[in-house]
Amino acid sequence: MAGFTPQVDAINDSVILTALVGAIPLLAFFVLLGAFKVKTHWCAIISFALAAIIAILGFKMPASMVFMSATQGLALGLLPIVYIILAAVWLYNLTEVSGRSDDLRAVFNLVGKGDMRVQALIIAFSFCGLLEGLAGFGAPVAIVAAMLVTIGLEPIKAAVLTIVGNAIYVGFGAMAIPVTTAGKLGGVAPAYVGTLMGRYTPFIIMLVPFILLAVLDGKRAIRQLWPIALVAGIATSVGQFFTSMLSYELTSVVASLLGLVSCYLFLLVWTPQAPSEYRSEAEGEDAPSTSRITLALLPYVLVVVLIGFTKLWKFGVDIDAALKSTDVSIPWPGLYGQLLEPDGSASTAAIYRLSLLSNPGTWIFVSALVVAFIYSRTSSGGRFPITFGKGLQTLLSTIYELRLSILTIAMVMALAYVMNFSGQTTSIGVALAMAGAAFAFLSPILGWLATAVAGSATSAGALFANLQATAAQGANLNPGILLSANTVGGGIGKIVSPQNLTIAASAVGKPGTEPEMLRKAAPISIVLLLILCTIVFLASQGWLGAYIPPLP
């Protein structure tokens, strides 16, 4: 088969026209979803069909390569993404089936002093950030959204809170893989890229807790709970600012832990005034014992411990490196060797990485198996009876419940890979880069767009890091500023990613509600993106002075 090299001016030799045509599938998805309320899986299928037709007729990609691009996307959608979601939702469902979710509510009630809004803020912002820093790849959204429903929050509100609270941690997610990817592909030290990200994010972090309160309960929540929001924002901002300079890989982990501890200590001396509809109380006679509290927290503590161990343990043996050494690289049939870079070399994007032991989904599954076994052996005096067999049956029912979500995610990833490999996504990026020095303002939009399409800030770096660096050179700009903007913008773009919306909707048990979630979350994503664009533009022009360190 003859090789195929994506062309950014494939249509009438015009970059602008090619970009406009290339944007059609993505625009169609959001218009169908947001304006016409078409079910998400049909949005994905229709948009995929449009992308395939445009790839063949407009970008001249061989039909066989379009098909194989879709299959590689499907494979990535199933593993690791669906794999992680199934594990996370199964873990949550075990707490529901066993009845121990009631005790979990009592625990959070104690920490949040009876105010459900405070509990939701801490979980959606700080705990979600901790999971994002350790695992990423959809696991934090699936776990945290389900937890918010457990404490009594309305499902759609729980989903929106989770995807918004998660966003600012995504760039540093999964031990900062997006930062490492952007830096290496853009030719700039990842540590420098991470440091610059830590200079942008505090401006946004300070706003996020207040946005979450507004989503929760409007002006009343901001008026009543601004002190705890301020504490969470300041602590997390300080954590990201300093940790990004010292060890960018641990930025999200340290910052979220600092936020958690600060909120806990502050609540020891400050008590919120909860309105009746957001007041959660545990009856004295039903107050859980220490052992019941331990068992209620077990699923989430075990997840953090196991994933933390697999990612952070370096004494004697580097566990993370050892697990990653078991990954299998698979040159994708019909693509690898035929999909070419502009210099004629084979594109490494056509290599699929099969990860099992290094996949956080595996350790969430292990956690769920351990929890199912322990719950089957300890019923707390007959109060929470469940057999191990019932726990395994819960996995089967979870798969059935998520069947449409699985289809949606698979089709979204097929769409993303066809758009990426045919050149549709890149053509949009190149068109934006033609803005010259003004591109600094537009730079974060590339990361936002790539993550909106692919659902991954790491993919955003893989797609546009080289483009960002090249555009910076042409416009005489600091490439580190644009690469960091691309990565932070990717996190904000995840708020509107179809894949992310489906994960959240599935986790809260409301598949098909993605249009409503998108209408609520999209304005927040756009506002945060514009703030980031402004910060990056000021930084690129030198107007932030010594606050932005020079390129080493």
Give the C-alpha separation, 468 to 412, whole Å: 25
pLDDT at 357: 93
pLDDT at 525: 98
Other C-beta atoms closer than 10 Å to the C-beta of 62 total 16
To the nearest 10 degrees (0 to 180), the angle between helices 208-246 and 190-205 is 150
pLDDT at 329: 96
Grouping H, G, I as helix, E, B as strand and the rest as coil, residue 328 is: strand
Give the C-alpha separation, 483 to 536, whole Å: 10
Name which of 550, 528, 533 is nearest 435 in CA terms: 533
Grouping H, G, I as helix, E, B as strand and the rest as coil, residue 42 is: helix
Asked if the model's pLDDT at residue 174 lies above 80, the reply is yes
pLDDT at 352: 94
**pLDDT, averaged across the chain:** 92
pLDDT at 287: 75
The DSSP 8-state label assigned to residue 288 in this structure reads: P
Query: Predicted confidence band at 377 (pLDDT cuts at 50, 70, 90)?
Result: very high
Higher pLDDT, 131 or 161: 161
Cis peptide bond N-terminal to 80, omega within 30 = yes
Query: Predicted confidence band at 76 (pLDDT cuts at 50, 70, 90)?
Result: confident
pLDDT at 480: 96
pLDDT at 63: 96
Mean pLDDT of 343-356: 92
pLDDT at 1: 56
**Residue type for position 432:** L
pLDDT at 282: 53
pTM score: 0.88
pLDDT at 281: 67
Give pLDDT tens digits for 507-529: 999 988 999 999 999 999 999 99
Grouping H, G, I as helix, E, B as strand and the rest as coil, residue 516 is: helix
For residues 44, 46, 51, 57, the Cα torsion angle rounded to the nearest 10 degrees is 170
Give the C-alpha separation, 508 to 521, whole Å: 16
Give the C-alpha separation, 550 to 269, whole Å: 42
Query: Predicted confidence band at 303 (pLDDT cuts at 50, 70, 90)?
Result: confident
Name which of 356, 260, 272 is nearest 304 in CA terms: 260
- The percentage of residues in the chain with a pLDDT greater than 90, rounded to a whole number, is 69
Helices and strands, number each (H, E), in the chain: 25, 2
pLDDT at 453: 82
Burial 239-255 (b: 16+ CB within 10 A, else e): bbbebbbeebbbbbbbb
Give the C-alpha separation, 384 to 374, whole Å: 12
Give pLDDT tens digits for 462-477: 878 988 998 898 888 9
pLDDT at 475: 86
**Phi first, then psi: what are they for 12, rounded to 5°?**
60, 30
Give the C-alpha separation, 288 to 115, whole Å: 18
Give pLDDT tens digits for 98-145: 999 888 888 888 888 889 999 999 999 999 999 899 877 788 999 999
Give pLDDT tens digits for 195-246: 999 999 999 999 999 999 999 999 999 999 999 999 999 999 999 999 999 9
Give pLDDT tens digits for 12-28: 999 999 999 999 998 99
Asked if the model's pLDDT at residue 312 lies above 60, the reply is yes
pLDDT at 429: 87
Mean pLDDT of 408-423: 90
Locate tokens 């790491």: which residue? Answer: 458
DSSP class per residue in 112-172: TTTBHHHHHHIIIIIIHHHHHHHT-TTHHHHHHHHHHHHTT--HHHHHHHHHHHHHHHHTT
Distances, alpha carbon 420 to alpha carbons 52, 232, 339, 432, in Å = 11, 38, 11, 16
Give the C-alpha separation, 129 to 254, whole Å: 9
pLDDT at 286: 63
Domain extent listing, the chain: 15-277+290-544
pLDDT at 134: 85
- Tokens, residue 474: 């042409």
